[in-house]
Structures are given as C-alpha cells and as structure tokens.
Amino acid sequence: MTELSAEFEKNMKDLIGEEEFLLLKASYSEEPVSALRINLLKKVPEDAADPGRIFGLEKLSFSDNGFLYSPETCPGRRPFHDAGAYYIQDPSAMIPGLLLTELLDERYGEEKDLKILDLCAAPGGKTTRIAEWMKGRGILFSNEINRGRADILSSNVERMGIDNAIVLNESPRMLSERFAGYFDAVIVDAPCSGEGMFRKDPGAVEEWSPENVRLCAERQEEILEHAYLMLRPGGIMVYSTCTFERCENEDRILALLSGHPDMNLIDAGDIKAKIPGASDGLEGCTGAVRLWPMHFNGEGHFAAALAKSGDAERTLPFGGFEPSSSVKDKKALSVFCADSLSESAAAYILGASDRYKMFGDTLSIMPYETPSLKGLRVVRCGLKAGVFKKDRFEPDHALALFLSEDDVKNFRRVTEDEGESFVKGMTLDGEGKGWCLVSVCGYSLGWGKAAGGRIKNHYPRGLRIPG
C-alpha cells in the first residue's frame, strides 16, 4: 500500500500507543476480507439456489445474513448480483445498520410503520439493511447530496427489490428545514477522512491530511446538527464513520450531547458483545463501538447510538402527498395485471390507486403516508411499476426485481450461464405468450416477452453487460 504519512503515524501513536499502532500498521499489509449480506427481502421459492453453497460462504457470527466469501468466486460479476440476491459489503460497514435495527427491535418489535432517514446513504449498504428490517412497511428516506452517487444509490434500491424507499438528492440543511421532528430514526454514516479504509483504498491514504481531517470534522458537526433537528422526540440516531480520528468520532458525539441536553448516548454493550474484536469507544464515549482491523475481521469503523428524550406527535411537513388524479390508461394496466400477474400481485398493484403517482407516462406506487415532496430533488419514490405506451402498459425492471416467480403467471427459470447471457441481452427459448419473468435459479432477474417459442429480452439496455 501507499506509504503512511508521518502526521498520521504520530496521530495514531498518540491515540492508541506504539504497540497497538505497530499492529495496526502490520494489518495494512494483510489481504482485506470480502463479505456480503444475503437479501432478506427477496421472495424466492424453496428450491431456489442457495448462495451459501454456490459461493462457499462462511457465516459472520454477529449477523443473521452476513457472510465472508472467497474473492475468486467473484459474486459481483454473477447474475445473482444483478438479481439482488445479496449486497456486497465489508463486515465493519454492516455494524451501524445492525446497531440501529437491533435498537429498533428492542423499542418497536413488530411495529415497523416508522419514518426512517438514511442521511448520507450512498452507495446503499445501510439503506438496504434497514429496508430488510422494515419489510416493506413505513417509509425509508435515503438521501445523498452528490447526484452521481444518488443515482448509484437508487440503482441499488431497485436491485434489492425495495418498494418503500424514497431516494433524495438534497443537502442536510434543506431536509432539516422540511422535516423538523419528523423521523423516528436517523442514521448518519458521515463523510470522513477514511482512515479505516486504508487497506482497501490506497487513494484514501494519498488524500489524507490533517487539514482534511479538520474539514471532515467541521462537516460532520454540521450534518449532525441537521440530523438532530429531524429526529422526533423519542427517536434513535446512529452516527458512524470509517475513520479512527477522535475529533471525527467521540468528539462529535460529545459535542452533540453538550449542545443538546435532550440527547443521550445509548450503551451498545450488549450488541458489542456479539461482535468478535469490537472495542469500546474512547474515554467519555465508551458506550460506542470501535472496530480496528488488527482485532476485527474487517476494516476500521466507529459507530455510536443516541436517543432523543421526550415524546411528541409527528408533524407532517408541507402537508400530505397528493396522488395523481388520473392514470393514463387504467384499462391497459388492468389488462397487464390480469394477463401477467397472480391474483395477489394484481391486487397489490390495482389496490394501490390512492398511492399512484404519474411522472410523465411512468407510473410509480408511493409508500403509505408519503408526505408532500414538492420542491425536493427526488431520484426515486416508491416502486416504479411501469410505463404507458400507446394502448399498452409495459412493466418496469424495478417491478420485476420486486416480484417473485409466485407473483406471475409465466416465468422462465434459467441457469447461471443462461442468466449471464440474459443480462447481456440474449434471447431465450420459452413457452407461453406475453410478459414473462426471467429468474436465475429462482431469483427474479428481469422481464422477457414470450411469443412463438422464444422470449424476447427486455433487460434494460443501460444495465446490460457487454460481451
């Protein structure tokens, strides 16, 4: 890896001592681990392929659906990835989402009709983990200030089959002005100096400087203030970074506590005890979680949970969402549902008319109790169902990834090799007529249209893999 700067080495020696620093430095020469999370939202039949068998996965002790894998299996290049069967994520990056969802479980149990904000959400690891916990209920707002990264976030939300997320491209300030006291939970995985990722990202080593650390701390302070404003009294906040600097971690938490007496640090001791190699936060913030790559089987991370005291009714920002007063062609939508979907899936689509939103000719189904989004930069809202073209309704790729084989009248299950060909745009052999859900070993992959013993490929051209 790139040589560490003298300033960084001094900082770390002052923070953890010479002996621990030498262990940290030695860990940077080791191969990073590779891990993924199985997508718990995917509805798959009992005879669907087992990713554990395919990739020889080794279960992570602290996560029900987290696994290590061997890099040579290349899960990111397999059609199961395109089908959203899993999300590739470092073990350390799984901890903030785990922390939040376990605390929500303790407080709310099966009540999942919550309003949750992932404030710095790209590329989507924490958003997709929280969505798995929500199970399609409530509303998950996923925000990313950088438009390019917001598009990546939106793509991952679609790939994982999430129907209750609203992806925004806004500043924390804009959101706090709009959503004061609105969210039951907020997670802030703040932009940071990235010291915990040095082993995986040599570019982070090159970009590190004391000045950048200072700028990150200032930015984090501002982001946390806006997050505080949006948290409803009685709500839970999780703050995390992938850096080791005290000024970006414990100092930010202590400053927030000092400035807001209604905020309290939650001792994550019970959750921490489940994570091999996890350490306490530094003095004054020992209830937080620190992960060091020389002790934890993953990269570096920090996470802390806080609760806002009190209880208050949620205020609806700028009023409620107004559904579209008309759908371009209700008959075409009904014909598609009758011809292509199971009775239950058709009932879901047709029964959501009070949540329809037309964007030009495209129909989306908004989450329940969506507030007004007027004036906000919305990248994705709810489930993109499809588009009206002339006298027909053409289902969207997002709908395919949301549905399962049980939700359609015609599906074509393909092998992994056939799946690789399908995502490259190849035509398939197949029976039936009309829209056909293509699944790879049981995981929905995309739409085809069957006629004359062939299935024409409708996998989105922008997602196709050259080859």
d(CA 45, CA 65): 18
Number of H helices, E strands in the chain: 16, 23
d(CA 138, CA 338): 28
Contacts of 163 (CB under 8 A, 6+ apart): 136, 365, 367, 382, 383, 402
Task: Provide the Cα torsion 131, 140, 113, 261; round to 10°.
Answer: 110
Owner of token pair 């009248």? 409
Catalytic residue among 120, 192, 216, 242: 242
Q: In what order do the strands lie in the sheet with 434-440?
A: 411-414, 434-440, 443-451, 454-457, 428-429
Q: Is 134 helix (H, G, I), strand (E, B) or coil?
A: helix
d(CA 375, CA 363): 20
Owner of token pair 């969210």? 183
Known catalytic membership, residue 74:
no
Task: Provide the Cα torsion 72, 76, 81, 87; round to 10°.
Answer: 100
User: Any alpha helices (H) in 308-453, and if so which ranges?
Assistant: 330-340, 343-350, 397-402, 416-422
Q: In sequence order, what DSSP letters do the residues of 407-430 get, joined into one string? A: GBS-EEEE-HHHHHHHTTT--EE-
Are the C-beta atoms of residues 404 and 85 closer than 8 Å to each other? no
Q: Is 129 helix (H, G, I), strand (E, B) or coil?
A: helix
d(CA 129, CA 261): 30
Which amino acid is located at 234 in the chain?
A: G
d(CA 61, CA 95): 12
Q: Is 445 exposed, middle or buried (0-12, 13-18, 19+ CB in 10 A)?
A: buried
d(CA 288, CA 266): 8
Residue numbers annotated as active site? 242
